[in-house]
Chain A
């Protein structure tokens, strides 16, 4: 075998080499969308920071300049002004690629609106405070605050630390059920959660799930579970004839799978950096 250049992770019997993993993981970032005129926007921003000095402290901030009519110099000025206010920008959205270079935050795209971030509501200026809000699409709901007084007090009391960003808790994880065989050449991708297949997964097809993969049939293709960074995800199948299995970025090809489990009903999980297989009855 001449596979030493790229050894599959956790293959026993080979010299220990560090495993480099590349995985996708999504984090929540604060989106800052300056609006023209900028001097007024910065005025608002300054007053927000004055009220709650720690608000941007430990936050990942993405700067969205798509709504602005600026050039490269304008962007440099903008970044400098934000820097003066101790706001560190980790990525820029909506800028021209050619503007950015070494020393600039990287260009990001394809972000997804998650939820609103509670901004400390100013007591006096609640109605025109929309410009200070980080997420552009939240104007409708955040402003109807009838208890401005108490809101302000609460806010200022908390301001020594960054306010927690609340993500709506997903009480149930979504799952996808497929009631026919996955044919060669087909790809099922479901990063949100578990995938259940009632039927076989053919050679030359793949199933990619954010959570676990359950196959009530033979697994002859590829199954990649926990693709969004869930090491606890597992793969279950009635008959193991897989071309490749992976959990949380660690994979094993058919060649590296123990032949004893071939054709058996098994479950596959991760223990540390090792892919484990055991029969299920």
Chain B
């Protein structure tokens, strides 16, 4: 059965697109048929993060408005053949998305894929609500800082009221993905601890992604971190999160890059 997953956060810049790409790739690496859909119309980025920006011909808007067939717009990843991308349009805005059009695209995608991962734009208006409309599962991406946590809380409220499941009186399964987590800084009280965030949001944790240069490097290379460096700490964290999404019980840990003694003593950057 196909699962529709929305990656959302309310706040911008917390790692929705990076996490969509990494989770999508990680799920596809386990053999699942995955499509990642960029709902950030007008500010599309998912194609860049997946390194597919030079292969975009048609996009989500074209399909929604009936100007192109779904098969023409889907871009298959060159590294993992079970991963596909439905890019957003950069030249249009979110008003070009219609409810009926999105309904049709999602139901067509349901026939082809095991996972439909929707990358939501920031905010709580039309774009984000259309991205979450069909969701069975939501991954709420949160940074360990107060404004991100409050915006996540807000978006959880929206998930409970504006999705098709909520309208039918059912519940969207919600998971917290804590990104950019830095154990040392949390210990020092410079950022919120995992327990603090969990206490405020009271939804189950699907993974903790440690703050890492590896993530930024992967985005700039146009390769999800789970492909570019599968043994790195963030890649392992995303892979574990993907296994949890598939229903496996994996103990929650905060992976770290093992450093030698020399690195531990002298490798600390000036921050």
Contact of A199 (CB < 8 Å), options: B124, B146, B154, B202: B202
Contact (A202, B160) CB under 8 Å given A184-B150, A184-B153, A184-B154? no
Q: Report B118 CB to chain A, min CB distance, Å.
A: 21
Q: Which of B199-251 contact A (CB under 8 A)?
A: 199-200, 202
Q: Is the CB of B154 within 8 A of A183?
A: yes
Set of chain A residues within 8 Å of B146, measured between Cβ atoms = 203
Q: Is the CB of A220 within 8 A of B202?
A: no
Q: Is the CB of B202 within 8 A of A204?
A: no
Expressed in whole angstroms, the Cα–Cα distance for A203 and B150 within the complex equals 7
Expressed in whole angstroms, the Cα–Cα distance for A200 and B196 within the complex equals 13
A144 within 8 A of B: no
List residues of A whose CB falls within 8 A of some B CB.
Answer: 180-181, 183-186, 199-200, 202-204, 218, 220
Contact (A185, B202) CB under 8 Å given A202-B150, A203-B150, A204-B150? no
Q: Is the CB of B202 within 8 A of A200?
A: yes
Set of chain B residues within 8 Å of A184, measured between Cβ atoms = 150-151, 153-154, 157
Set of chain A residues within 8 Å of B157, measured between Cβ atoms = 183-186
Q: Report B58 CB to chain A, min CB distance, Å.
A: 36
Set of chain B residues within 8 Å of A183, measured between Cβ atoms = 153-154, 156-157, 160
- The residue among A183, A185, A199, A203 with the most chain B CB atoms within 10 A of its own CB is A183
Return 15 A-B CB contacts under 8 Å, by A number: A180-B160, A183-B156, A184-B150, A184-B151, A185-B124, A185-B154, A185-B157, A185-B158, A186-B157, A202-B150, A202-B200, A203-B150, A204-B153, A218-B199, A220-B200
Number of A-B contacts (CB under 8 A): 34
Set of chain A residues within 8 Å of B124, measured between Cβ atoms = 185
Q: Report A241 CB to chain B, min CB distance, Å.
A: 10
Number of interface residues of B (CB under 8 A): 13
Set of chain A residues within 8 Å of B151, measured between Cβ atoms = 184
Q: Report B6 CB to chain A, min CB distance, Å.
A: 17
Q: Which of B31-74 contact A (CB under 8 A)?
A: none
Set of chain B residues within 8 Å of A186, measured between Cβ atoms = 157
Expressed in whole angstroms, the Cα–Cα distance for A204 and B148 within the complex equals 13
- Contacts A184-B157, A204-B153, A220-B200 known; 9 new A-B pairs at CB < 8 A: A180-B160, A183-B153, A183-B154, A184-B150, A185-B124, A199-B202, A200-B202, A202-B153, A204-B154
Closest to A239 in B: B199
Q: Mark B180-212, 1 if CB is under 8 A from A, else 0.
A: 000000000000000000011010000000000
Closest to B153 in A: A184
Set of chain A residues within 8 Å of B156, measured between Cβ atoms = 183
Closest to A203 in B: B150
- The residue among B146, B156, B199 with the most chain A CB atoms within 10 A of its own CB is B156
Q: Is the CB of A200 within 8 A of B160?
A: no
Set of chain B residues within 8 Å of A202, measured between Cβ atoms = 150, 153, 200
Expressed in whole angstroms, the Cα–Cα distance for A186 and B199 within the complex equals 18
In the A-B complex, the 8 residue pairs with the closest CB atoms: A183-B157, A184-B153, A184-B154, A185-B154, A202-B153, A183-B153, A186-B157, A184-B150
